[in-house]
Structure 1
Amino acid sequence: MTTSNNKRAIFLDRDGVINVDKGYVSVVDDFEFIDGVIEALQALKEKGYLLVVITNQSGIARGYFSEEQFHTLTEWMDWSLANRGVDLDGIYYCPHHAEHGIGEYKVDCDCRKPKAGMLNEAIEALGIDVTQSILVGDKVSDIQAGIAAGIKTNYLVRTGKEITEQGENLATAIYDDLAEVVGVVE
């Protein structure tokens, strides 16, 4: 099957890229947008990129919060951004964890980063051209997923996890935050 993939996208990890990573964020009161991120997302939209969130949510697998709680928070985030002129084109999440998952969530799945399942699903569903797309994450598994999905430009930002030597070696470049990324994309 051949699809006409001509849309370019920015794939974004959530915790540590869009919001402050406070560890297993599951309620609105704990969700804090990183300074400048809303304006950065607006600018990326203006440059013609689809915005696609791809997020591992092992807190669901671990029983820390429910999928329903995740959806409630995600809906709030989506509306908060839409109210500021930022429409997300896709939100993909993985509720699984092969080691620490409970019950139905203890799965060695294809969607959990560093695997490319979420990205591949979005690429197919939205008709995305990976050669023109960019992934922005805050840790090695984000970059590995981008590479596995065929994305050539994979950036790390310093607003989340500490950048490791492996991350430095795998990432196309490292930036302080998403706002700084905006300045380098066309």
Structure 2
Amino acid sequence: MKLLILDRDGVINYDSDAYIKNLDEWRPLPGAVDAIARLSKAGWTIAVATNQSGLARGYFDQAALDAMHERLRQLVAEQGGELGLIVHCPHGPDDGCDCRKPKPGMLQQIAAHYGVSLAGVWFVGDSSGDLKAALAVDCQPVLVKTGKGLLTLAQPLPAGTLVFDDLAAVASQLIH
């Protein structure tokens, strides 16, 4: 199985320090939906692991989050692709869970769902928390310059981190 794991906010869709709270605020980044569809059609399974502490903070509810993810699935399907498992951490930063990145719980959940080892699997994110989560489960850390990526790039990166302009560039690298 060719598995690719993506962060959501800042990788697939525009991010906001005020949180993405509803379907109207959820807007895909240029080329991101097309990249997911192209990867899917090329035989890749695409999973998403996203921190969504806005749930714990009361900024939006599960129905609003589900609507955003359904829209993403629909947009990918309209381009002939398929999006795999989407997992999210609903907890706040101080809740002590094992799923909130940089903890590896969501990535382990994806591995268990697909029955695969994560060794060498690319995890594409835009933050140091994404990169640390990748390293915790032996994934290949991949940073995109979208979202918080440029801020993250200004900090020391884990050894071996791959850097791309955006998700479309990642897709182009993986589809030969």
Partner residue, 1:30? 25
Deviation at 1:63, TM superposition (A): 1.2
Partner residue, 1:12? 6
SS at match of 1:174: strand
> Which has the higher Rg, Structure 1 or Structure 2?
1
Q: Map 1:1-186 to 2 at 5 A.
A: 7-23=1-17, 24-99=19-94, 107-151=95-139, 153-161=140-148, 162-166=151-155, 168-170=157-159, 172-185=161-174
Which amino acid in structure 2 is aligned with residue 111 of structure 1?
C
Give 5+ residue unaligned stretches, structure 1.
1-6, 100-106
SS at match of 1:15: coil
TM-score between the two structures when normalised by the length of structure 2: 0.89
Deviation at 1:51, TM superposition (A): 0.3
* In 2: Cα distance, 1:11 partner to 1:30 partner: 23
Partner residue, 1:103? none
Which amino acid in structure 2 is aligned with residue 147 of structure 1?
L
* In 2: Cα distance, 1:69 partner to 1:54 partner: 17
Which amino acid in structure 2 is aligned with residue 37 of structure 1?
A
TM-score between the two structures when normalised by the length of structure 1: 0.85
Q: Is the 8 A contact 2:102 2:132 kept in 1?
A: yes
| Aligned sequence identity (%) | 37
* In 2: Cα distance, 1:78 partner to 1:172 partner: 28
Between stretches 87-96 and 164-173, larger displacement belongs to: 164-173
Q: Is the 8 A contact 1:51 1:88 kept in 2?
A: yes
Count of residues paired in the alignment? 172
1:65–1:167 CA distance, 2 compared to 1 (3 A): farther
Between stretches 55-64 and 72-81, larger displacement belongs to: 72-81
Deviation at 1:46, TM superposition (A): 3.1
Deviation at 1:177, TM superposition (A): 0.3
Q: Is the 8 A contact 1:11 1:136 kept in 2?
A: yes
1:170–1:65 CA distance, 2 compared to 1 (3 A): farther
Q: Is the 8 A contact 1:17 1:138 kept in 2?
A: yes
Between stretches 11-20 and 174-183, larger displacement belongs to: 174-183
1:15–1:171 CA distance, 2 compared to 1 (3 A): farther
Partner residue, 1:102? none
